[in-house]
Amino acid sequence: MLASLILTLREGMEAALVIGVILGVLRKVGRQDLIPSVWVAAVAAVGVSLGVALGLNWLKAEFKGSGEQLFEGGTMILAAGSMTWMVFWMHGQAAELKHKVEMGIHRASTGRWVLFFLAFLAVVREGIELVVFLLAARLASDPLQELFGAAIGLGLVILLAWLIMTSSRRLNLVRFFQVTDVLLGVFSAGLVGMGIGEFNELGWIPSGIEHVWSLNTFLPDTSIVGQLLHALVGYSSSPSLSQVMAYAIYVAVLCGVLLLRHFPALFHTPVVKQ
């Protein structure tokens, strides 16, 4: 549930930020006549995202046996890759996002259809990403809990967006995206491990060692805590060697890249003048 809540909050806030900036710029330049086009674009984007969600759920229902494992494993790896790309792209972009959107709106505000597609693409990108993420999260835990978490996340998005637009206080977007980047990185690592587990069962990726360790006596997958950890971080009480290696490599690479971007001086070798 927590995974779907954070994912919905993150994607929803990005979409709300873009729509808020678009509306603000249109009011500044006196083009309130274009505001209805923005809302129509947002509603259309939500409709397309829901259509993609229904289509993916129908597609999953059509798969049986090994086909279902392939679909689930592929979805988890795809979602993990998309989350990773989002973390890298958003890292360092939050502070400039508003300016970039404003520049785009100033260029597009002369044409109603151009503005419509700008708003539509901004929202539908977040919506389809969220659909893939939630589908992967649902495959890893109870669907009703994930739906409940997504509903709470959507409610928080609406509340935060309303507070930001109606009060003088502003959300620290840089800090918000930094915190959610960490959480998304944790979720992504878990999805990588679970996706590799599905491919282990298919025989597409060798396990190496089928059970590197076993914590079934202390913390089985079927326990409440085990199910929670499984949904959040991909916990497995008896993982294979390839799962452990994939998880460790992913975390190491992600941390290395983020450290390089945060503290480039740590990886910089000073040049000694002769």
Q: Token pair for residue 146?
A: 């994930």
- Contact yes or no for 107/174 (Cβ under 8 A): no
Buried b (16+ CB within 10 A) or exposed e, 212-240: beeeeeeeeeeeeebbebbbbbbbbbebb
Extents of the domains making up the chain: 2-267
Q: What is the pLDDT along the chain (274 residues), one digit of tens a residue?
A: 777 888 888 888 888 888 887 887 788 777 788 888 889 999 999 999 999 989 988 888 778 778 888 888 999 999 998 888 877 776 656 556 666 666 666 665 556 777 788 889 888 988 888 898 888 887 777 777 778 888 898 888 888 877 767 765 566 666 777 778 788 888 889 999 999 999 998 888 999 999 999 999 999 988 888 887 887 788 899 999 999 999 999 999 988 887 776 666 555 555 555 5
Q: Which amino acid is residue 246, in one-letter code?
A: A
Angle 66-90/241-262 helices, nearest 10 degrees? 10
Burial class of residue 140, CB neighbours in 10 A (0-12, 13-18, 19+):
buried
